[in-house]
């Protein structure tokens, strides 16, 4: 059973957490403090009313937040063998020239090999807007994509359309405690030729160039760097040899494409989009409280055109 | 294909008279022809030729150039077979590597090899490159015309005003489905690269060229380091960043 692989522990490092996600913890602590103050010290009703109003406002949180998250506030970790599902793409209804996203009538497509998706399987799909739909897998098929009449080999899933872009298809046996919600991908806070900083919910993504074709990608959470990976733009005959320029993300430069949090302060599934010379990689990274790992089995590649 | 061009022409997408190109290929017929690059001093290559683009109005009665537009995009198609690789040595190497994989595979392996692209005619790369640049304004129609004339391609990028010229180039960008700035020259235009997807189940036991010790290849053509080593022994080298791309030198 998948839930047996899920470990839940109580939060212990609130100072590492971003301010926005500390709110539920503060609410619980605030409640205890208010009760004690009222009984032991007998402070005035006006102060209590003011505090209660503040607590009510602080604890309300986003309207879409599942209530049990605020109540349980689990800090979940994911076992290495925990199935996490698949990263699919909700196609655009019509092509948008120059854009990497495919177009078609399908609700979701998953580029092959898409291992483990059986024809007829019914899955939950969560898009970048947080909309959850049920989709049903069909047999492997082909989708026109890229130049020279190329066709992508995909598993197409039927159902209601999602917001175009990456979609997380949850595994059928996803633990009930998972309450995925999309995280906003904000505009970069730093954009320069040799470095770039993006923020995705509580995550800070840093790109740092080390030489013309190399650099480092780092993820920080709670002010601590928990993941680094090298960036390498390999040489392709005929390609420009200009230095990597993070102001204009291009070949080999990862940019955030989607992210979902499993629960408040819980793991985050981050999807990076990385252009290569001939196509687009979607690279999922599971970011937990103090570590992160690339999920190679969930990665997708969309071949577009011979270079 | 040909009727599309003719229809496009008769649909009157461009006004005005003009001679149009005197390209004589019969609609829908594939012929072997010498490359237009031969006149520019480049080595002739064998290429597939499809229908000529629709005759667009030329700038003057003596100007036989065909104006840019989507009808150019079916010209000079990219090859999708090993036989179309124009570098004879690489073609032989790829074929030998292919045959070795096929010979090594068992029915349980369910080996599948799907070729996406092999040889891209330099003319196609030229048209893709300049349509992208004219559309994006990084090359003027006049400069593109000069480059195309030097390359021996009978295209006129100038439609009389810049907005129309960029729009017609944009038609080509859309039809080609160009996502990134296309290269003028690459291993594909040299006939020294192949994009193919290689998948199988389980262990594919295969030896390097000239050796008998079999390597256990698991994964896919993208991920199997052992298969990359086998390919390299045949002179077919993997480029790590692009899953289907193999070439003479991995670039």
The confidence score (pLDDT) of residue A27 equals 29
Closest partner CB to B179 (pick from A98, A232, A238)? A98
CA-nearest residue to A296 within chain B is B223
Chain-chain contact of B199 with A113 (C-beta, under 8 angstroms): yes
* Chain A residue numbers touching B181 (CB-CB < 8 A): 240
**Structure tokens given for A60:** 């309300």
Q: Which residue has the higher pLDDT, A93 or A22?
A: A93
The CA distances from residue B168 to A260, B15, B140, in Å, are: 41, 13, 13
How close does chain A come to B211, measured CA to CA in Å? 30
**Structure tokens given for A103:** 């177009």
Backbone angles phi, psi at B164, to 5 degrees: -65, -40
Q: Which helix (H) or strand (E) holds A53?
A: helix A45-60
The confidence score (pLDDT) of residue A240 equals 83
How close does chain A come to B62, measured CA to CA in Å? 33
Closest partner CB to A306 (pick from B188, B197, B249)? B188
Return the C-alpha torsion angle B16, B69, B6, B17, nearest 10. 10
Q: Answer yes or no: pTM beyond 0.90.
A: no
Longest dimension (CA), chain B: 69
Closest partner CB to B177 (pick from A146, A232, A278)? A146
Q: What is the per-residue pLDDT across A203-234, written as a single tens digit (0 to 9) for each?
A: 999 999 999 999 999 999 999 999 999 999 99
**3 state SS for B81-109:** CHHHCCCHHHHHHHHHHHHHHHHHCCHHH
Sign of CA dihedral B83, B87, B92, B97: negative
ipTM beyond cut 0.90 = no
CA-nearest residue to A97 within chain B is B174
Q: Which residue has the higher pLDDT, A67 or A264?
A: A264
Closest partner CB to B188 (pick from A276, A280, A307)? A307
A/B interface, count of CB pairs below 8 Å: 110
* Chain A residue numbers touching B176 (CB-CB < 8 A): 147
* Chain B residue numbers touching A95 (CB-CB < 8 A): 174, 177
- Residue B7 in this model has a pLDDT that exceeds 90: no
Interface of B with A in 102-131 (CB under 8 A): 114, 116-117, 120, 128
Chain-chain contact of B116 with A150 (C-beta, under 8 angstroms): yes
Could you tell me which residues come within 8 angstroms of residue A117 by beta carbon, excluding any fewer than 6 positions away? A86, A110, A123, A137, A155, A169
* CB burial of residue A40 (10 Å; 0-12, 13-18, 19+): exposed
Could you tell me which residues come within 8 angstroms of residue B7 by beta carbon, excluding any fewer than 6 positions away? none
Q: Which residue has the higher pLDDT, B29 or A216?
A: A216
Q: What is the per-residue pLDDT across A79-126, written as a single tens digit (0 to 9) for each?
A: 888 999 999 999 999 988 778 999 999 999 999 989 899 999 999 999
Q: Which residue has the higher pLDDT, A56 or B79?
A: B79
How close does chain B come to A248, measured CA to CA in Å? 12
How many helices (H) does chain B have, and how many strands (E)? Answer: 6, 10
- Coil/strand/helix, residue A142: strand
Q: What is the per-residue pLDDT across B188-215, written as a single tens digit (0 to 9) for each?
A: 999 999 999 999 999 999 999 999 999 9
- Residue B93 in this model has a pLDDT that exceeds 90: yes
CA-nearest residue to A112 within chain B is B199
Q: List the single range of A44-53, A218-227, B236-245 with lowest mean pLDDT.
A: A44-53
* Averaged confidence pLDDT in chain B: 82
Peptide bond into B136 cis (omega under 30): no
Q: Does B202 touch chain A (CB under 8 A)?
A: no
Question: How many CB atoms neighbour CB A28 within 10 A?
Answer: 13
What is the percentage of chain A residues whose pLDDT exceeds 90? 62
Beta bridge partners of A251: A275
Closest partner CB to A301 (pick from B189, B240, B243)? B243
Beta bridge partners of A28: none
- Residue B69 in this model has a pLDDT that exceeds 90: yes
For residues A232-266, one letter each, b for 16 or more C-beta atoms within 10 angstroms of the residue's C-beta and e for the rest, the string is ebbebbbbeeeebebeebbbbbbbbbbbbbbbbbb
- Residue B47 in this model has a pLDDT that exceeds 70: no
């Amino acid at each position: 059973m998948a839930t047996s692989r899920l470990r839940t522990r109580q939060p212990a490092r609130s100072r590492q957490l971003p301010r926005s996600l500390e709110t539920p913890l503060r609410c619980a602590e605030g409640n205890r403090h208010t009760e004690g103050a009222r009984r032991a010290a007998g402070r005035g009703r006006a102060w209590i009313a003011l505090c209660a109003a503040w607590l009510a406002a602080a604890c309300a949180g986003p309207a879409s937040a599942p209530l049990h998250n605020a109540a349980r506030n689990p800090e979940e970790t994911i076992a290495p063998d925990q199935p996490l599902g698949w990263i699919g793409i909700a196609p655009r209804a019509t092509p948008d020239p120059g854009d990497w996203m495919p177009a078609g009538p399908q609700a979701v497509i998953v580029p092959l090999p898409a291992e483990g998706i059986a024809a007829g399987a019914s899955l939950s799909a969560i898009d970048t807007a947080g909309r959850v739909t049920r989709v049903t897998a069909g047999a492997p098929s082909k989708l026109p994509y890229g130049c020279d009449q190329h066709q992508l080999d995909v598993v197409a899933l039927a159902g209601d359309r999602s917001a175009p872009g990456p979609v997380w298809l949850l595994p059928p046996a996803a633990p009930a405690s998972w309450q995925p919600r999309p995280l906003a991908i904000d505009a970069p806070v730093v954009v320069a030729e040799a470095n770039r900083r993006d923020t995705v919910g509580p995550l800070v993504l840093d790109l740092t160039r080390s030489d013309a074709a190399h650099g480092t990608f780092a993820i920080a959470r709670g002010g601590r760097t928990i993941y680094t990976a090298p960036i390498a733009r390999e040489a392709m005959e005929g390609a420009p040899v200009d230095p990597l320029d993070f102001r204009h993300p291009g070949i080999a430069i990862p940019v955030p494409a989607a992210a979902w949090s499993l629960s408040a302060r819980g793991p985050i599934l981050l999807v990076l989009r990385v252009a290569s010379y001939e196509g687009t990689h979607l690279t999922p990274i599971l970011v937990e409280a103090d570590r992160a790992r690339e999920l190679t089995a969930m990665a997708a590649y969309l071949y577009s055109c011979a270079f | 294909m040909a009727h599309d061009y003719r229809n496009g022409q008769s649909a009157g997408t461009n006004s005005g008279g003009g001679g149009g190109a005197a390209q004589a290929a019969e609609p829908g017929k594939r012929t072997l022809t010498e490359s237009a690059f031969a006149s520019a001093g480049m080595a002739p290559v064998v290429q597939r030729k499809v229908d000529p683009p629709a005759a667009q109005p030329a700038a003057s009665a003596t100007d036989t150039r065909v104006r840019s537009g989507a009808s150019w995009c079916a010209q000079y198609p990219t090859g999708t077979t090993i036989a179309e690789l124009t570098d004879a040595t690489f073609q032989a190497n790829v074929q030998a590597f292919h045959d070795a994989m096929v010979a090594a595979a068992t029915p349980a392996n369910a080996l599948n090899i799907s070729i996406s692209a092999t040889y891209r005619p330099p003319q196609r790369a030229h048209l893709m490159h300049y349509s992208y640049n004219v559309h994006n304004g990084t090359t003027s129609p006049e400069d593109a015309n000069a480059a195309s004339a030097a390359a021996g391609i009978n295209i006129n990028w100038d439609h009389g005003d810049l907005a129309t010229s960029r729009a017609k180039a944009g038609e080509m960008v859309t039809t080609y489905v160009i996502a990134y700035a296309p290269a003028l020259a690459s291993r594909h235009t040299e006939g020294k690269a192949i994009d193919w997807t290689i998948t199988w189940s389980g262990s594919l036991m295969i030896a390097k060229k000239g050796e008998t010790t079999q390597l256990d290849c698991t994964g896919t053509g993208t991920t199997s380091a052992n298969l990359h080593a086998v390919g390299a022994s045949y002179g077919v080298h993997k480029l790590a960043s692009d899953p289907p791309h193999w070439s003479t030198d991995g670039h």
